[in-house]
Amino acid sequence: MYVCMCHAVTEDQVKKQIENGADTPRRIAKGCKAGTDCGSCVRRIQALLGEHGARPCPTARLAAKLGLAEPETGLVEAVRPLRAA
């Protein structure tokens, strides 16, 4: 399955970069160019990094701090209003 359509990079290629030590989207990009054009694949790259033990991105850490996401994974389960209307 393709992760980055702009550069035709597959999920397996991204996982190979992770296995070779890439632990940030920037390092993934350096290895295979994924995420260096439109950027729409960066969140999927971040998710793949998270699935393989990398620290969640700063936005995910902030979401976890605010109680909007799981602290371990950084995955946001649902968007809910911060205060009642």
**Applying CB under 6 A, which part among 30-38, 50-58, 62-70, 72-80 lies near ligand FES?**
30-38
Write out the binding residues for ligand FES, residues 33-72 only, by CB under 6 A.
34-41
d(CA 84, CA 22): 42
Q: Between 14 and 69, name the residue whose CB sits nearer to ligand FES.
A: 14
- Residues forming beta bridges with residue 2, ordered by sequence position: 10
Q: Which residues in 1-85 belong to E strands, given as ranges?
A: 2-4, 9-10
Q: Report the nearest approach of ligand FES to the CB of residue 58 (Å).
A: 20
Of 5, 7, 12, whose CA–CA distance to 33 is shortest?
7
The mark string for 4-23 relative to ligand FES (x by CB under 6 A, - otherwise) is: xxx-----------------
d(CA 10, CA 26): 16
Interface with ligand FES by CB under 6 A: which residues?
Answer: 4-6, 34-41
